[in-house]
Amino acid sequence: MTGAEHAFKLASVLLQYPTMALFTGIDRLDEAGRAAPRAAREEFAAFLAWLRATPPGEVAGHYVDTFDLRRHSALYLTYYRYGDTRRRGTAMLAYKAAYRRAGFHPPDAELPDFVPLVLEFAALSREGVALLRRRRADLDLLRRALGSVDTPYAHVVEAVCALLPKLRRGELEAVRALWESGPPTEEVGLEPFAPPEYLSGQERRP
């Protein structure tokens, strides 16, 4: 792994629900943060300092409050652009296709645009890094969302963004427009967009 790939793996770990294993391994996480590329090092250090100083139960509660109880800061990249609309389903199929091309087999229980999953893919595969770069604008919308609720988790996403190319002018304008309008509000759920076997990677073959 390159330094950036190690940093993507660290970010993937930090953005998952904080089990006790996270706290028992805090020294190793600190080492990984110090070994990250310079552009991301300070952001990882700020988050890890908070993690070390905060009781595990409080961290878990903050995680739930931030990511599970606020749709505005959900850890699903397609949500910021498409909301709960049928177009979101089509976007998620593109993630599944990228995973299959690289031979990456994520767990069926998680949606393919779950940020820790995408970051793990980027840590393991060039195709994963390419996918993350293609979704750079969506990641920036998550960065803005976390910044708006003043959460230490914003540091982790800032670290990831620091390792990716900066947004081009057209992308910046699109991000601003999406941020101002918010996700589409058509409530259709996630099931109608495609047969379940497409998301699980179990589609029928002739």
- For 71-118, write each residue's pLDDT tens digit: 778 899 998 888 877 888 888 999 999 999 999 988 888 899 999 999
Long-range contacts of 37-42 (CB under 8 A, 24+ apart): 37/3, 37/4, 37/7, 37/162, 37/163, 39/162, 39/163, 40/7, 40/159, 40/160, 40/162, 40/163
Q: What is the pTM of this model?
A: 0.84
In this prediction, residue 40 has a pLDDT band, given cuts at 50, 70 and 90, of: very high
Distance in Å from the first CA to the final CA of the chain: 37
What number of other Cβ atoms are within 10 A of residue 95's Cβ? Answer: 22
What number of other Cβ atoms are within 10 A of residue 1's Cβ? Answer: 10
Closest residue by Cα to residue 154 from 169, 162, 143: 143
**What is the distance between the alpha carbons of residues 152 and 50, in angstroms, rounded to a whole number?**
7
In this prediction, residue 26 has a pLDDT band, given cuts at 50, 70 and 90, of: very high
* Per-residue confidence (pLDDT) for residue 82, from 0 to 100: 84
